[in-house]
Amino acid sequence: MIGDIVQPSAAGLSRRLAAFVHRSRWEDIPEPVRAHAMKAVFNGFGTALGGSADQAVLRLTKSLAPFSSGETATVIGQAQRQDLLTAAFLNAAAINVFDFDDTHAGTIIHPTAPVLPVVLALAEMRSVSGAKLLHAFALGVEVACRIGNAVSPGHYDRGWHITSTCGIFGAAVAAAKLLDLTEDEILWSLGNASAQASGLVETLGFMAKSTGVGNAARGGLISALMAQCGVEGPPQPLEGPRGFLKVCSDQPKPERIEDGLGAEWEIMRNMFKPYPCGVVLNPVIDACLAARDTPNFSTGQIAGVVVRGAPLLKARADRPEVTTGREAQVSAQHAVAVSLLRGHAGAEDFSDAAVNDPQVKALRAKVRPVEVDAGASVESAHVSIRYTDGSSVAVSEGVATGSLSRPMSDAALQEKFAALARYGCPKLAVRSLADRLWTLADQKNVGDLMMLARPEEAYP
């Protein structure tokens, strides 16, 4: 370590952020933050179980496994272990592949996907308690979301996939904290992460999206491991004249990284999703499910459907022509059709089979292009259904399920976990795993818990 006297060239925002992470103690983390971090881990595990058998994850595994340098870390839902870097990559991809993971309000970062796999991998390399893992995880999520605040909304609008670009910093910080790195080494971890931050919105709806999220986890872990071995980064990787904030945002707000740091926690603005699709579709599905409860509802008599919502709904999810489940995750037309027809919207409803279901295709064709309500929030939507006899029904949702104002209950999170486990890992006995995760802060060794995340047999 350089010493207690900070050199002027290094006494910037990045240094202060590294110092905060270094000084942070588990005792400093408020109980509500601890509880929310535990829920995020629980939810992330569930989405990983569901995504572990997805074709994108299986193909990524096939491409990376031959180069794995050993079997030291668990890939959730898979029998064969991989090395730390490969496991972090694959677990990140599995957590995020269905877009069923958590979402940070304001930035739409999915922070658990890039951060959680890093601390899980390290927990199998050394003995790590549940409390220590949650501490590192909470700090990683906090850093990722605060950096996201500083570059939003222009960063995402320019086409950067913010989960990947900001997630790598959270992954680096979480790894650095779990490795007990010095303040300088944490700063270098941020610098090493800045050299790798990447990801494009253009990949949404395609398997390539998972490579960006996987790389964020692996790159963050590499960043900390490099720093531990003395690989130095720039002193101002975030705020420097050619640092991440200025390069990746037209109007960066660096003050948003430090405002309330340690007193106000961005992880508390992290939402858990009830449906496996883009967050802008949550109120649309809510409205469609409510429409099914209206008098004389009949899918067979629907002549047309109009969806109206926030500009972001139009920009991200107005996709009438979809051919894969991956594309359907960001299609308002598919979300409307499948939820009206089936009365639910789970992982199986955003699969390739669901997309090509003749009934779904027929109804999807009756959903008109999304209409924009410039004053609407992303948590609201309006769905109007016109029947062949000329009658109609309209349903508005002002606050979506899973939003900060209408969060999922603990019981709903447990039901989601069980359903995803059945969908992606039917051979895995998950009851004891769920129980252990729900009391993660009390667990003595997370490595023992990870054994419960591997089925005894490989999936075909």
Q: What is the pLDDT of residues 298-311, one digit of tens each?
A: 999 999 999 999 99
Residue among 309, 246, 241 at smallest CA distance from 280: 309
Spatial separation of the C-alpha atoms in residues 57 and 45, rounded to whole Å: 15
**How confident is the model over 106-138, as pLDDT tens digits?**
899 999 999 999 999 999 999 999 999 999 999
Predicted local confidence at residue 7, as pLDDT = 39
Predicted local confidence at residue 278, as pLDDT = 87
Q: How confident is the model at residue 2 (pLDDT cuts 50, 70, 90)?
A: very low
Spatial separation of the C-alpha atoms in residues 154 and 245, rounded to whole Å: 11
pLDDT greater than 80 at residue 456: no
**Poorest-pLDDT segment among 125-129, 218-222, 454-458:** 454-458
Q: Class of 279-397 per CATH?
A: alpha beta
Residues 43 and 272 sit within 8 Å (Cβ to Cβ) = yes
**pTM confidence score:** 0.92
Which residue bears the tokens 């006494």? 11
**How confident is the model over 169-204, as pLDDT tens digits?**
999 999 999 999 999 999 999 999 999 999 999 998
**How confident is the model over 377-422, as pLDDT tens digits?**
989 999 999 999 999 999 999 999 999 999 999 999 999 999 999 9
Residue among 437, 443, 432 at smallest CA distance from 413: 437
Residues 73 and 103 sit within 8 Å (Cβ to Cβ) = no
Q: How many CB atoms lie within 10 A of CB 8?
A: 7
**How confident is the model over 76-88, as pLDDT tens digits?**
999 999 999 999 9
**How confident is the model over 38-73, as pLDDT tens digits?**
999 999 999 999 999 999 999 999 999 999 999 999
Portions of the chain given CATH number 1.10.4100.10: 8-273+417-453
Q: What is the mean pLDDT of the chain?
A: 94
**290: burial class by Cβ within 10 Å (0-12, 13-18, 19+)?**
middle
**How confident is the model over 15-46, as pLDDT tens digits?**
999 999 999 999 999 999 999 999 999 999 99
pLDDT greater than 70 at residue 457: no
Q: How far apart are the first and last CA of the chain?
A: 50
Token pair recorded at residue 239: 């705020």
Q: Name the β-bridge partners of 200.
A: 160
Q: What is the mean pLDDT of residues 131-156?
A: 97
Portions of the chain given CATH number 3.30.1330.120: 279-397
Spatial separation of the C-alpha atoms in residues 102 and 58, rounded to whole Å: 22
Predicted local confidence at residue 346, as pLDDT = 93
Predicted local confidence at residue 8, as pLDDT = 36
Token pair recorded at residue 133: 């893992």
Q: How confident is the model at residue 205 (pLDDT cuts 50, 70, 90)?
A: confident
Residue 217 makes CB contacts below 8 A (sequence gap 6+) with 88, 89, 91, 92, 113, 114, 115, 117, 118, 167, 168, 171
Predicted local confidence at residue 231, as pLDDT = 98
Predicted local confidence at residue 442, as pLDDT = 95
Q: How confident is the model at residue 316 (pLDDT cuts 50, 70, 90)?
A: confident
- How many angstroms separate the Cα of 135 from the Cα of each of 75, 173, 430? 22, 11, 24
Q: How many CB atoms lie within 10 A of CB 216?
A: 36
Q: Between the CA atoms of 2, 4, 9 and 15, what dihedral angle is there, to the nearest 10 degrees? A: 90
Q: What is the mean pLDDT of residues 275-284?
A: 93
Sheet bearing 302-309, strands edge to edge? 371-372, 302-309, 381-387, 392-397
Residue among 175, 154, 167 at smallest CA distance from 197: 167
Q: How confident is the model at residue 4 (pLDDT cuts 50, 70, 90)?
A: very low
Spatial separation of the C-alpha atoms in residues 421 and 94, rounded to whole Å: 12
Q: How confident is the model at residue 423 (pLDDT cuts 50, 70, 90)?
A: very high
Predicted local confidence at residue 11, as pLDDT = 64
Q: Kindly report the CA angle at 339 between 275 and 409, in degrees rounded to 5? A: 35
Q: How confident is the model at residue 1 (pLDDT cuts 50, 70, 90)?
A: very low
Residues 39 and 270 sit within 8 Å (Cβ to Cβ) = no
- How many angstroms separate the Cα of 147 from the Cα of each of 4, 154, 256, 263, 392? 26, 13, 8, 16, 46
Q: What is the mean pLDDT of residues 342-362?
A: 95
Q: Name the β-bridge partners of 143.
A: none
Token pair recorded at residue 373: 């309500």
Residue 99 makes CB contacts below 8 A (sequence gap 6+) with 110, 273, 276, 277, 278, 279, 329, 330
Fold of 8-273+417-453: 2-methylcitrate dehydratase PrpD (1.10.4100)
